[in-house]
Chain A
């Protein structure tokens, strides 16, 4: 008997712990809410350590990098090549510093030139779980970050703030399946919705098959989602093909390519007609040619190709036939020559309806 109670004691504790957590889960599912307090604790506890780690990593990485390099050099010929190695070390270190300085400068420039109010943040952690598309940044409600804000880099949009804690925020990346943003193509002004797919690429949804989007063309934010201000780069089109119902477009998010270390949280967004103003910075070699930028600046320029019926196309054909013969439809003086509807408009490409039964 005694044994049984002991046996039950373990069981009871197990059952209680699991039931407790089930209750917690059930509560969250039912209210669709969150146990914010616990998360705030956890995040706040982890943030300083992560921040410390990140700082340490930066400093150490240079040294480590060069040490490994140096070690290799030493192995070859300690005495003779030492000087050379040290020089190389110096060059390497300087180059790294320069790159970092460039990066900081670019960020600064980006913030300065952008009409939107932003705050720079460092990525200090990834969400737990193997397929996580979530990162933590070291800015929180204390810095004015709020849930739902847009997170960008000068290269392109990066994600959205999913939760803001006092000293840190959780950011859902553009590649997360729950991410969506309104986008517009630079050249053809085709509008669509960018969605994460859980992988490296994102897709652009709701583009009609008839609408023209070329591979390599860039997408920018359209501002339609009321989250991302208009005119921020998103990424180049990798794949654009006709789908069953809608066009299938895959975009490589440019904001995630540069190994995100620093990001910017947009506190107050301002729409921009022209994409990223820091276009002459060295990092921006992927920006589209300036002519497409100017078309983008003109509102309503280069409308997406309209979708037409055979009737529309045939009407256009007859209108051209009439025009070519100087014929005004429904008019004609007595004895005036009638139009010839079998007139061929010469070698110019003739747009006949594809199913034009009358002209087989």
Chain B
């Protein structure tokens, strides 16, 4: 197991691993999901803000552990599924992959840089929507609407929100 660390360290020397209190790791996604459940009732345009996704990306990227990232993503995704009309697993699978790839990507990008954070959020939003679309079509025969332009705009919006949001989350770091 230690070799695993060696491998990753070899790729990026300057890699810094952030640590968080377990309670933070638990409460932040819950708050994000609650936000998504509750706020669009009054401000429906905020329904397009995928806070759970941003949370997944953030923690996976900051902790830089693919396994942790994918499990974390799966957890958030399934919680989201439970509160949706979809069969359980749709968001779960997508977020699992997001968590995994975000953690893997963080090994190559500087996840602390606002620019790369925007790119990360942007990219993973597009990936998230595309994957969701693929799963919807292939697995349960529910073609989810996927407008390319619309997705890109929303990805930009999510990316824009991600930068200050991630900055806020930085304050919850343990050390």
Contacts and interface: CB of A to CB of B under 8 A. Distances in A.
B91 A14 contact: no
A252 B70 CA distance: 44
B83 A125 contact: yes
Interface stretch (A39-47, A211-219, A318-326, A347-355): A39-47
A28 to B, nearest CB: 4
B100 interface: yes
B164 interface: no
B41 interface: yes
Interface in B7-64: 7, 33-34, 36-38, 40-42, 47-48, 50, 52
B83 A42 contact: yes
A38 B70 contact: no
B106 interface: no
Interface stretch (A16-24, A180-188, A220-228, A307-315): A16-24
Contacts of B41: 123, 125-126, 135, 260
B38 A28 contact: no
A132 B3 contact: no
Interface string A26-57: 00110000110011011100100110011001
Given A42-B82, A127-B84, A21 B7 contact: no
A249 interface: no
Interface in A112-133: 123-132
Contacts of B79: 42
Nearest to A170: B85
B3 A131 contact: no
A162 interface: yes
A25 B37 contact: no
A172 B84 CA distance: 11
Contacts of B80: 128-129
Contacts of B96: 14, 17-18, 21
B89 interface: yes
Interface residues of B toward A: which range?
35 or more
A56 to B, nearest CB: 11
A110 interface: no
A89 interface: no
Contacts of B47: 126, 130, 132
B87 A126 contact: no
Contacts of A35: 88
B168 interface: no
A13 interface: yes
Classify chain A's interface size.
35 or more
Given A123-B41, A127-B83, A127-B84, A21 B92 contact: yes
A162 B84 CA distance: 11
A179 B66 CA distance: 41
B137 to A, nearest CB: 13
Contact of A29 (B3, B4, B71, B87): B87
B11 to A, nearest CB: 13
A162 B83 CA distance: 12
Contacts of A328: none
Interface of A: 2-3, 6, 9-10, 13-14, 17-18, 21-22, 24-25, 28-29, 34-35, 38-39, 41-43, 46, 49-50, 53-54, 57, 123-132, 134-136, 162, 170, 172, 259-260
16 contacts: A14-B67, A17-B71, A21-B74, A25-B89, A25-B90, A25-B139, A25-B140, A39-B83, A39-B88, A42-B79, A42-B82, A46-B83, A53-B34, A125-B38, A126-B36, A136-B83
Given A14-B100, A124-B38, A130-B47, 17 more contacts: A6-B1, A6-B3, A13-B70, A13-B71, A14-B66, A14-B96, A17-B70, A17-B74, A18-B96, A21-B96, A42-B79, A50-B34, A54-B38, A128-B83, A136-B37, A136-B83, A260-B41
